[in-house]
Amino acid sequence: MDYNPRQSMARGNSVSTSNRRPPPEEVDPFILRDPDICENVTFLGVPFSLDDLRKPQPQQIQRLYEFLADLCMTVTRETVGPAMSAAASEIAGPDMADRLYSQDVRDLMGLFVRLRAFMVVCQVNDFGFADLFKPTYPRLQKILSYVINFVRFREGQTPTVQEFVEEKEKLALRVQQLVGGNEGLEARLHALKANRAEQEHANQKKKEAEARAKEQLIGLNHQKMKVMNDGERATAELKRLCQAYDERQALLEATSKEAAKLRPYTFQKPDALQTNLRELNATLAAEKAQIEAHERRERALQTSADSFSTAAQDVAASTRVLTELANDMLKEEEQQNKATRFREALSDKKNNVQEVEREEKLLQKKLDTINVRIDKLRRTAKEKADSASVRMNELKETQSKLQKERNEQSREVDKRRVRIEQTEKKMTDLKENIENEINSAREEYLKMESHVNLYITEMGQTIV
């Protein structure tokens, strides 16, 4: 038998088969021992034995998973039930929701979704329905080991997590305070904007009032000129009436004297009276002729008065001419200064000699024209000034009264102008203060926002 080739071949195969060993399985370092798993689960509050681990029952394992979800995430079937019912009603309708899936199935599906997310956090990425409905010992051992390791890690990091939670709460409180402060600043900004609008409206009204006051002042100036002209005409009319009154008074006295002379003739005879009457008629005719001559003279005086008014206007015109003359003299001096500068620069600008000479001739020509005009204006102004000096003396009294009124009005206008300038200055200061406060508030808000974003970023990086 030892030499049987088949038998020896079989033996050789058996020996070679026994010599080959299966490759060693990889050992997961996170898998805990079974007693440790049962002890930790029992410590959490769920009685759990080795038989429960090695021979898992679906209902018991589902209750265990629900307990772990409630412990770690505060999630149970009751908490996910309303959301699952609302989703089923929205998808299938309120009538078909209970017919398709029962309430327990829906709640278990919602719990499974939350459990799968929790298992991903615990590094169990392949958690499925089979782990709920058909649990096995290796899967249950792995899942419970990973969950226990996660719970241990979380308990070990509780102070750090608590510190981050407190910091987050402080940060949230600070954000709320900043939001409240921002709202307060926005309300203040709106109030300041409304106040600025009111102040601008008030300033607009004040500007309009100032414009009206300026218009009134211009109107008063026109009225003053009109009153001055009326005063001049009234003075001339008064003089004319006084002169006419004196003439009539003298005429009345002369007539009374003539009547006194004629009174003795009333006692004489008719023939003598007739003779005297003829003489008196002749005298009366002579007197009438004299009266007519006086009237003609009065009209001539009126014409002279009108001429005086024209002369007063000429005086004003001459005053303006004198002003223009002074301006022309200033211009002449400026032109003379320019000519002097041109002469001084003549030696340095030899290339422009002809142009400068041409310009100098032009300026000299203008200067001669201006000198002729100035001499003519001086003579005219002297003549008119001599005639106007008498008239100016008469107008001084009226001018003094009008000057007093004008001074009072000027003082009132100055007071108003000062008040307006003070108000505008206050408005400008208030506007600058408002803009500074707004800028500072905006900068503070941006700083706090950057701090908040930085804290949130650091907290997110630390958690990750």
Residue 453 forms part of a structural domain: no
What is the per-residue pLDDT across 132-142, written as a single tens digit (0 to 9) for each? 888 899 998 89
Angle subtended by helix axes 103-121 and 137-156, to nearest 10: 60
Residue 125 is assigned to a structural domain of this protein: yes
pLDDT score at 12: 41
Residue 412 located in a structural domain: no
Predicted local distance difference test score (pLDDT) of residue 238: 79
Domain-embedded: residue 185: no
Instruction: Give the model's pLDDT for residue 98.
Output: 66
Domain for residue 399, yes or no? no
Residues of the chain with pLDDT under 50: 1-20, 22-24
> What was the pLDDT predicted at 215?
81
Number of domains forming the structure of the chain: 1
The CATH code of the domain that includes 135 is 1.10.418.60
Integer Cα distance of 380 and 376 in angstroms: 6
Residue 235 belongs to a domain: no
pLDDT at 299: 77
The pLDDT of residue 203 = 81
pLDDT confidence of residue 79: 82
pLDDT on residue 431: 81
Residue 436 lies in a domain: no
Q: Per the domain annotation, does 387 fall within a domain?
A: no
Each residue's pLDDT tens digit, 152-198 = 887 877 787 777 778 777 877 878 888 887 788 888 888 888 888 88
pLDDT (0 to 100) of residue 4: 42
Q: In terms of residue numbers, what domain contains 125?
A: 27-156
